[in-house]
Amino acid sequence: MTQPEVSKDEIFKRLRDVLVGGFELRDEQLVPTARLVEDLELDSLDLVDFAVRLEQHVDLEIAEEELKSIKTVQDIVDLLYQKLNARS
Amino acid sequence: MTVTSQVAAPPVAPGAASRRVPSRRRLAHGWRALRTGVAFASFGVGAIVVAAITAVSARGVPARRELRTQRIVHHAFRLWLWWMVCLRLCRVSWIDGERLAGSGPRLVVANHPTLIDVILLLARLSQADCIVKTAARRNPFMRRIVARAGYLANDDGDALVESCADRIAQGRSVLLFPEGTRSPRGGLHRFQRGAAHIALKSGCPIVPVVITCRPPTLLKGQSWHDVPDGRPQWVLRVGAPIDPARYLDAGSTLPVAARRLTADLQALYEQGLGADEEHS
């Protein structure tokens, strides 16, 4: 039995929980085009921590290369959408 | 005498007095630039001598060798600063400098207005692991000393935090500049969060040092011979230690604690520099 497809909206909500709860970011900062480093001010240490939290939150493993390719919030949503639905 | 010379002086053409002042100023400026050149040349010679001394003393287990080299660097910098004072190129004042006395690991954090800030701090601290830019690690005068002293490379943020926390766990002090580069004239760059992460990971208190220099000199992008008219005065004010544990309250994640601690540090330095501005 296959799991129902997870929508991008649902992924965005989960992502927002991680970023607001874990990094004290405000809701209005979290737009799809927001850049992680320049706009959300996540530094290299934050990005590592973010990957760990995200993995725990969505029960997925994110490779270092995948993490490096992520620039915006939308990039993460797309990556998680692809990985979560490939698993189902 | 003075009156006589004034009487005997030939008639002065209009504007000559005002022309004489800048020329005297130019002469004083040139003399100061020359002395600065001598100071920098002696720094280069000193680096060669220190490299030779540390080569001879570089024996034993790495940790002891590093500490020995750091002590030699400390004495060499003290000597060089004494020479700078003799050349009337700087004055240095410490406020609450005793907060850096004694042993025990501490994380010393400073703003970085001038080229010689690290020298002032290492001349005060007999042991400190500092973080060195790639350029200094490649500098032919410095690279061997840097390697023997075990100074840390600023290449990788995550690995650097681990290395610094590891040094602190060994009872060693770490010195860093959270702006990552020299400060802009009269202000601060946005602080990076490395210092906060190191403090939170190691539990080591941060000892803040606010550095000011008036008149400003040896700023980023300023050449060594671009000297000010007066003798610069460096003031290093050591603040009360900041305990990182109070940022790790229940419900606060490590990234949030690092952001809050960094924001408070930045505010403390802005306040310190602002207070200095008001008193000047």
pLDDT of residue B279: 61
Nearest partner of A51 among A81, A79, A26, A30, judged by Cα: A79
- Name the range with the highest mean pLDDT among B28-37, B143-152, B164-173: B164-173
**How far does the CA of residue B158 sit from the closest CA of chain A (Å)?**
6
Contact (CB, 8 A) for B204 and B268: no
Give tens-digit pLDDT for B68-111. 999 999 999 999 999 999 999 999 999 999 999 887 799 999 99
Residue B7 inside a domain? The answer is: no
pLDDT of residue B197: 94
Rounded CA-CA distance B50/B204 in Å is 31
Contact (CB, 8 A) for B247 and B261: yes
Contacts of A23 in chain B (CB under 8 A): 253, 255-256, 259
Q: Whole domain around residue B31: which residue ranges?
A: 24-279
Residue B78 inside a domain? The answer is: yes
Helix axes A73-87, A8-23, angle to 10 degrees: 120
Q: What is the DSSP letter of B152?
A: E
Residue B6 inside a domain? The answer is: no
- Say if residue B274's pLDDT is above 60: yes
pLDDT of residue B196: 95
Contact (CB, 8 A) for A18 and A73: no
Residue B197 inside a domain? The answer is: yes
Residue B5 inside a domain? The answer is: no
User: Residue range B138-161: average pLDDT?
Assistant: 86
Contact between B259 and A24 using a beta-carbon 8 Å cutoff? yes
Rounded CA-CA distance B218/B40 in Å is 12
- Say if residue A84's pLDDT is above 50: yes
Contact between A43 and B256 using a beta-carbon 8 Å cutoff? no
Residue in the block written with tokens 């997870």: A6
Residue in the block written with tokens 């590891």: B166
Residue B3 inside a domain? The answer is: no
- Say if residue B24's pLDDT is above 90: no
Residue in the block written with tokens 């040896």: B218
Residue B19 inside a domain? The answer is: no
Walk me through the domains of chain A, giving residue ranges and CATH numbers. Answer: 8-87 (1.10.1200.10)
Residue B33: give its domain's CATH number. 3.40.1130
pLDDT range class, residue B164, cuts 50, 70, 90 = very high
Q: Mean pLDDT over all residues of chain A?
A: 86
Residue B268 inside a domain? The answer is: yes
Distance of alpha carbon B161 from its chain centroid, rounded? Answer: 21
User: Residue range A16-45: average pLDDT?
Assistant: 90
Q: What is the layout of strands, in order, in the sheet containing B233-238? A: B91-95, B233-238, B206-214, B107-110, B174-176, B129-132, B152-153
Total number of domains constituting chain B: 1
Q: Closest CB to B158: pick one of A24, A45, A50.
A: A45
pLDDT of residue B278: 64
User: Residue range B154-160: average pLDDT?
Assistant: 80
- Say if residue B211's pLDDT is above 60: yes
Contact between A45 and B259 using a beta-carbon 8 Å cutoff? no
Please classify residue A58 by burial: count the beta carbons closer than 10 Å to its beta carbon, then call 0-12 exposed, 13-18 middle and 19+ buried: middle
Nearest partner of A67 among A88, A36, A22, A33, judged by Cα: A36
Contact between B194 and A48 using a beta-carbon 8 Å cutoff? no
